[in-house]
Chain A
Amino acid sequence: MSNVIEKRVLTNLDRCIECRSCAAACHVSHAGMPVVRFAMSGVALLPLICRQCKAASCVDACPVEAMVRDENGVVHRRLFRCIGCGSCARACPFGVLPNETAGVPDQVRSTDRISGHQIPKCDLCADRTECDPEAVPRCVASCPTGALSFEDEHQAEELGITMMGGRTTGEHPFKRR
């Protein structure tokens, strides 16, 4: 049990065309509980994807231990523990976790009694990546321009990537040419 995440979803700022394919793929496959969000940064609309922080504030903030790190280092939300209090969303320093329960506006929120009142959390599409070591999360698979990639950040130098955000808790969420 290493508890250190091997791969993260990285965003190449030079390639994102704001098509929101990542969010749509996440929305459709997560039964109305999407975890990919967007924020305007200047004139660019950037995807906010969970950085799977090494020191995850959401885990510390959860009052019912719904947020846990698994043996692969991925922070999960335990479905039946979450009470939808929003503590994790407020604690997240990057605004990745949605403030709205279920992560969606009221008009499209699930009417399900459980999922309609919980905070969605990215698990890197565990249903795909745990079955197939070559598989990538849906947001990465759907990205038509190659802006999102699922990479071992420790290979950044070999890949010729300049990592950004090294002083933050998330460590290197973005990359540039």
Chain B
Amino acid sequence: MTVTNAQQTETKRCTLCPAGCELIVLEDGPDNWRTELPAQNVGGLCPRGAILGQLLAHRKRLTFPAQRANGTLGEVDLDGAVKTILAAAGDGAITFFLDGNVPVEEMTAVSAWCGAWDRATLCLVIEPSDEAVLSGVAASGAAMLSNADLAGCDGFLIVGDAFSANPTCARPVFDRRAEEARTPIVVIDSAAGRTTKFASLPVTTPAGMEYQVLAEVAKAAGVEVAATGKAATAVAAGKALAGCRRLGVILSAEYGRSAAWKQIGFLAGTMAKQFGGGVAVETTGANALAAVGLAGKLGAISLAEALSGDSTRVALGCDVLGMLGISEPKFAAAAAAFANRTTESADVILPVALSGEIGGSTWFVGKGMVSVPALLAPPAGTLVPSDVVAALAKSAGIAEPTIPTAAKELGAIEAEAPGEAPAAPEVGAPALLIGREAMHSGCGDLTGYGSWQQGDRPQSVLRISPADMTDAGLKNEAIVRIQTGDASVEVKVQVSPELTPGAVVISDGAAAVRALLPSAAGAALPQKVTLIS
């Protein structure tokens, strides 16, 4: 089948990250779909978007409600599943963990049901580091930039491996560099990811020290901030940025890297404002900005608060346990499109639509409100998250509330300036870091179902500096087991000369990786890791 085949060539948008790349969903056989690029596309579609079409009718999609009894899952009908969940809740509270990357209409609908049901509470789930950095940037008052806005910048400060988080943000940086070869590109990334290779001024960053290094750069650039001003690479980078008239800051909040993402967002935003620019935050999910902006307006509680309470927990479209690398607390029910760590622990499992199957409005970073049509209708009998909440509420005798038909405006995000940054963690060497992969979204359990992801890199890779590899007595491409606490993963060693000694990096490819740096509440931090040959 060619892309010129009629009727099905309506251009849509990928819903896996804020880039919103254009794509077409094509039928590639009976109930078999694939993602295609528009014929004259030059906008890109990363490996995540390439497999989005496959996910829509994947043979491993959850298609019917199931209930666990004596450790075995058995099919039940929706009514039976609803009764089991309500029976588990008794007269106690229920907390709904809604994926924060669904369209805004879904957020407002679930919020309306939770408002009408006094036992129900809403929590919008996004990556904790994304939430912190977005709050910090909002508190600084810096403008949010889109890729088009970045093209007009004359210098770039990049924190984290932003090019892997959202490959499209690299194009405006390269376009600017092609125009002016001396454009400063400063990269702060302790894992020395792919973005570091393109830095004109890479800054030496020890594990967990992102904020401290950013402060050194900011001070050298002339921003008022507490720092020693002695780190040579940071001082050189700061002086180079001091001459910018429009500074583009690109932030990618990395999991398990720092406890100071809010302070990083605030300081980076302050710096961008001082130099006439703005900030682009390359979040993991497509609608994280809306989730942060609307959480307060919708009465949502924080993830840490939701996890620490003793309410009955219901996950709606998100993999809370996989995302945080934890196995507790237990979830009474989990609604998901594919099996994940949270559905594995839940007693009741419900099929739910993917974000791309829910039409509505959404927000992309720096672009305001954008309407995104559904890629395809969800499989027959598959509910959207608000339908799950409605079914539970109605069964509990709650009358249907008035659900707003228009999406809530995002408006200005209300956030307070963060306090002093926490001290940098003292991590013994080698410190384990988790690095981004362009082919995976977040903890990777969703995109891990794509045929490309399964075939291209079945073995996780551990990047290690040549000095550390020699000290540990390892050889390039050797298979080792790495362990932190009770969790361990088998990986292939890959020597990485650009990596600072003292840190080893594993790709963020599956929830099993996050179990190496678990965090039930707050930020996960680098840990000393044991390498077992």
Which A residues form the contact surface with B (CB < 8 A)? 14-15, 17-21, 23-25, 27-29, 31-32, 43-44, 104-105, 107-108, 127-128, 131-132, 134-136, 138, 140-146, 177
Contact = CB atoms under 8 A, between A and B. Distances in A.
B440 to A, nearest CB: 11
Nearest to B175: A146
Nearest to A177: B178
A153 to B, nearest CB: 18
The 8 closest A-B pairs by CB, nearest first: A144-B44, A108-B455, A24-B47, A19-B438, A144-B167, A24-B50, A135-B39, A141-B37
Given A21-B438, A104-B455, 7 more contacts: A17-B170, A20-B47, A135-B3, A136-B41, A141-B40, A142-B50, A144-B170
B42 interface: yes
Contacts of B47: 19-21, 23-24
Contacts of A20: 47, 438-439, 456
Contacts of B366: none
Contact of A23 (B19, B197, B452, B497): B452
B168 A144 contact: yes
Contacts of B46: 19, 21, 24, 142, 144
Contacts of B64: none
Contact of A136 (B40, B168, B170): B40
B50 A25 contact: yes
B455 A25 contact: no
A24 B39 contact: no
Given A43-B197, A128-B39, A136-B40, A27 B451 contact: yes
Q: Which of B3, B28, B51, B175 gathers most chain A CB within 10 Å?
A: B3
Interface of B: 2-4, 19, 21, 28, 34-47, 50-51, 53-54, 163-164, 167-168, 170-171, 174-175, 177-178, 181, 194-195, 197-198, 438-439, 451-452, 454-456, 458, 496-498
Interface of A is mostly: loop
Nearest to A27: B452
A132 B40 contact: yes
Contacts of A146: 42, 171, 174-175
Contacts of A43: 197, 496-498
A23 B439 CA distance: 11
Contacts of B51: 24, 28
A64 to B, nearest CB: 27
A141 B38 contact: yes
B170 A141 contact: no
A28 B451 contact: yes
Contact of A17 (B167, B175, B454, B455): B167
Contacts of B438: 17-21
B452 to A, nearest CB: 5
Nearest to A108: B455
A135 B46 CA distance: 19
A136 B456 CA distance: 24
B156 to A, nearest CB: 14
A146 to B, nearest CB: 5
A145 B3 contact: no
Contacts of B198: 17
Contacts of B21: 144
Contact of A127 (B3, B19, B164): B3
B182 to A, nearest CB: 12
